[in-house]
Amino acid sequence: MSPRPSAPLELLDLDSVLSEEERQIRAVVRQLIDDRVRPHVAGWYEQGRLPGRELAREFGKLGLLGMHLSGYGCAGASAVAYGLACLELEAGDSGIRSLVSVQGSLAMYAIWRYGSEEQKQRWLPAMAAGEAIGCFGLTEPDHGSDPASMATRARRDGDDWVLTGGKMWITNAPIAEVGVIWARTEDGVRGFAVPMDTPGVTVREIQHKMSLRASVTGEIVLDDVRLPADAQLPEAIGLKAPLSCLTEARHGIVWGALGAARDCLETALAYAGTRTQFGRPLAGFQLTQAKLADMTVELQKGYLLALHLGRLADAGRLRPEQVSVGKLNNVREALEIARQCRTILGANGISGEYPVMRHANNLESVLTYEGTSEIHQLVIGQKLTGLGAFA
Ligand SMILES: Cc1cc2nc3c(=O)[nH]c(=O)nc-3n(C[C@H](O)[C@H](O)[C@H](O)COP(=O)(O)OP(=O)(O)OC[C@H]3O[C@@H](n4cnc5c(N)ncnc54)[C@H](O)[C@@H]3O)c2cc1C
């Protein structure tokens, strides 16, 4: 008799290394995604829209927004618990995880880590509840991998700041109440908490995306945007401030990408078990089993890597280049898994009836944002050789 089939992440009994609380948080997020996202996400993707505000309020009620931060209405969960939540969110769709990552790890973290007490009180409780949406503007039309060359300027005018420039590819921008905007001043890069209804701020939603379609992305134009002195994040000095926010968000991606991969693999396993060709299920062919085995091995390696990085983060010892290892590997492997699963589904692999092509398309964005694969290779290369090849 054949043994009972095993789910890809059950094979190594990896659940045994999680705490009861971590397993509970994961179960709650998984249920939320099953109830609120899975039934609708293919339609959202096809229509290129996301009910972001509605979802943010629901995520806020469950404490998912800024969940790894403490105080100001945030849940104060561990980095591993946050990672597990990201995994389950992205098993629904990378766009859903992006909504939560940008809110919690980029916009909220920037204010939590670098903001004044007044800025924290003003924004964080509302953001944790999903009543206010945040975005994070670092990338510009002409400056992506090289943010040090940013062209957006902030100049002093009396006590005020005046911001001029533009930000491109900004997740959540079209629905955001507050933008954490990075700009060059006479003294170097500084961050600003910009209410998005400030005169001079305009946002154009980016259309025609073939990836992350269930995510809202915008271009922000800053035309002499006048801000009071207290809009500046007082503790954010230099480019290392936004880069530290990216390290936070990348940790979530290390986990999240595995969720997309797991969903593809589970779909392919189920499909291969029921689809018959040449008189037997696809799962019974050795070539299919080789694919399934290799993908499962990669998924579990990625999971162990994420868990290790998460435990380092919880011990306060996670370094940026370690996160680069995780982001580079897990997104690259997740994309490879999605593409391989696509082949197992044959023609159905390209159909929106199945999640695989959607995940594969989404992972193309995940490969690029939060530092492209090449930039993470260069970060790791710099650490290994002591030679900076890109900065
Ligand atoms: C859907 C989506 C959402 C996003 N959300 C946000 C957001 O919320 N906030 C935000 O600030 N940004 C966001 N981004 C932008 C993202 O971070 C950038 O796209 C990314 O940093 C890469 O920049 P770029 O697209 O300008 O590519 P470029 O920097 O022009 O790079 C193009 C190619 O050249 C390679 N390259 C560049 N420099 C080097 C080098 N020195 N050596 C070798 N290869 C190199 C890159 O790896 C890449 O393959 C988002 C992007 C997408 C697609």
**Which string of DSSP letters, residue by residue, matches 261-303?**
HHHHHHHHHHHHHH-EETTEEGGGSHHHHHHHHHHHHHHHHHH
Q: What is the pLDDT of residue 3?
A: 61
Q: Is the pLDDT of residue 251 over 80?
A: yes
> Of 247, 369, 378, 390, which is best to mutate to test ligand 1, by the most ligand atoms within 8 angstroms of its C-beta?
369
Which helix H or strand E contains 135, and what residues bound it?
strand 134-137
Q: Which two tokens stand for residue 122?
A: 């003003």
Q: What is the pLDDT of residue 2?
A: 58
**Which pLDDT band holds residue 6 (cuts at 50, 70, 90)?**
confident
300 lines ligand 1 (CB under 6 A): no
| pLDDT cut 70: percent of the chain above it | 99
Measured CA distances, 91 to 161, 172, 242 (Å): 42, 20, 27
**Which pLDDT band holds residue 199 (cuts at 50, 70, 90)?**
very high
Q: Which residues contact 253 (CB under 8 A, 6 or more apart)?
A: 86, 97, 101, 327, 330, 331, 366, 370
Nearest atom within ligand 1 for CA of residue 389: 41
Q: Is the pLDDT of residue 1 over 70?
A: no
Count CB atoms within 10 A of the CB of residue 322.
20
377 lines ligand 1 (CB under 6 A): no
* Structural domains of the chain, ranges and CATH numbers in brackets: 20-129 (1.10.540.10), 134-238 (2.40.110.10), 240-385 (1.20.140.10)
- In this prediction the pTM is 0.97
Q: What is the pLDDT of residue 9?
A: 79
Tell how far the Cα of 16 is from the centroid of ligand 1, in angstroms.
37
| pLDDT cut 90: percent of the chain above it | 96
DSSP state of 143: B
Q: Is 6 helix (H, G, I), strand (E, B) or coil?
A: coil
102 — phi, psi (to 5°)? -65, -40
Residues with a catalytic annotation lie at: 370
**Which pLDDT band holds residue 7 (cuts at 50, 70, 90)?**
confident
Q: What is the pLDDT of residue 8?
A: 80
Ligand 1: residue whose CA is nearest its atom 9: 170
Q: Is the pLDDT of residue 147 over 70?
A: yes
DSSP state of 72: T
**Which pLDDT band holds residue 203 (cuts at 50, 70, 90)?**
very high
pLDDT per position as a tens digit, 66-124: 999 999 999 999 999 999 999 999 999 999 999 999 999 999 999 999 999 999 999 99
Tell how far the Cα of 145 is from the centroid of ligand 1, in angstroms.
5
Ligand 1: residue whose CA is nearest its atom 19: 369
CB 170 within 8 A of CB 220: yes
The residue with greater pLDDT, 197 or 8, is: 197
102 lines ligand 1 (CB under 6 A): yes
Question: For the chain, what's the residue count?
Answer: 391
Strands 74-75 and 70-71: antiparallel
pLDDT per position as a tens digit, 306-343: 999 999 999 999 999 999 999 999 999 999 999 999 99
pLDDT mean over 288-314: 98
CB < 8 Å & 24+ apart, contacts of 203-211: 203/173, 203/174, 203/176, 205/174, 206/169, 207/48, 209/48, 209/365, 210/361, 211/361, 211/362, 211/364, 211/365
pLDDT per position as a tens digit, 21-38: 999 999 999 999 999 999
303 lines ligand 1 (CB under 6 A): no
235 lines ligand 1 (CB under 6 A): no
Average pLDDT, rounded, for the chain: 97
227 — phi, psi (to 5°)? -125, 145
* CA–CA gap between residue 232 and residue 183 (Å, rounded): 10
Residue 276's DSSP bridge partners are: 281
